[in-house]
Amino acid sequence: MPQGSSHRVALVVDEQSNPFEVGCACEIFGGPLRPEIGFPLYDLRVVAPRRSTPMRDALFSIGAAGRLEELDRAGTIIVPNRPYVETPTRPALLAALRRAHQRGARLVGLCTGAFTLAEAGLLDGRRATVHWTLAEEFQERFPAVRLEPDVLFVDDGELLTSAGSAAALDLGLHIVRRDHGAEIAGHVSRRLVFAAYRDGGQRQFIERPVPAATDQSLAPVLAWAQQRLDEPITVTDLARRGGMSTGSLHRRFRTELGTTPLAWLTAERVALACRLIEQGTPGLETVAHRSGLGTGANMRALFKRHMGVSPADYRRRFAVPGADARAGVRAG
């Protein structure tokens, strides 16, 4: 997406919509112009079937800025959570979503918004996810959908779905990264004080006993590794730095981050490779070496797996014209 272009995003709210997911979408796609970015990322419109819409359990009502007809002019449509998935979606909304899909708009289902997209028949044969507590019900109602029940979000091209509430932030930042690159996504995540890169393949936090309180945190270990991504850091190195066994390190990563140490390290290195490419660092082998991804061939495979495009395609989309590659960046 070219910088400065106006990409209209329509956020649908309806009776009983969850205000958390609505707020997440507003913060990511409707934020004010920031000096560190220099141009508006999106043109966000809130739309609803009625002028006044009662939110979750009628805690409050909001007045929407537009009606469902605006969906016909949006490039991205966000369908937020609704708590009562057994209640059928309005036929007018389902018809609007089908029209949008036919003309190539991007459709985003936050949490149980996946139920709405599935009711419209748009997820048949496609990959999707939903909150883990609703996975069994979703699969029973929509057996034609290729459900991935234990991931944070699924990007299936023009159809994207996320799991529980916090995963709405992960998916939103993923969309910003896909549209505008890792550097701008980093600006947005820092404004939100939220992790800039949690890969969609990370597991949801499945219900488990609450661990005993501890003063320890993985934060020092993560910060240490982020400053040395270009070095051959291993899981054993991380465990040694944290003063624990590799088994304990794996358990801590699962509890605190919902992923494995190796998966986290790889995701951080891919994110660094994105920043290096955006800043104009020349040559696949150079980027691979400086990001800790090893050889160009290894980087190409990992980059494609995580970002969905090749490093060359990513460079064509996001590299800053005239960037001074000689300036470079530190790993981290």
Beta partners for residue 12, in sequence order: 47
pLDDT digits (tens, 9 = 90+) for 293-320: 999 999 999 998 888 788 998 888 777 6
| pLDDT for the residue numbered 329 | 36
Residues 6 or more apart whose Cβ sits within 8 Å of residue 199 = 152, 259, 263, 267, 306
d(CA 261, CA 290): 20
Q: Tell me the pLDDT of the chain averaged across its residues.
A: 83
Beta partners for residue 106, in sequence order: 76
Residues 6 or more apart whose Cβ sits within 8 Å of residue 72 = 96, 99, 100
| pLDDT for the residue numbered 59 | 76
The CA-CA-CA angle for residues 45, 42, 159, to 5°, reads: 80
| pLDDT for the residue numbered 61 | 80
What's the number of CA atoms in the CB half-sphere (13 Å) around residue 26? Answer: 12
Reported pTM: 0.69
pLDDT digits (tens, 9 = 90+) for 264-290: 999 899 989 988 998 889 899 999 999
pLDDT digits (tens, 9 = 90+) for 229-269: 999 999 999 999 999 999 999 999 888 877 889 989 998 99
Answer whether 132's CB lies under 8 Å from 163's CB: yes
Percent of the chain past pLDDT 90, that is, above it, reads 44
* Mean local confidence (pLDDT), 93-122: 95
The CA-CA-CA angle for residues 76, 78, 83, to 5°, reads: 170
* Structure-token pair, residue 228: 């040395």
Taken in order of first residue, the domains within the chain and their CATH numbers are 8-192 (3.40.50.880), 217-332 (1.10.10.60)
Model confidence at 7: pLDDT above 60:
yes
* Mean local confidence (pLDDT), 71-80: 93
* Structure-token pair, residue 143: 């057996």
What DSSP string runs through 171-203?
A: HHHHHHHHHH-HHHHHHHHHHHTS-S---TTSB
d(CA 2, CA 73): 19
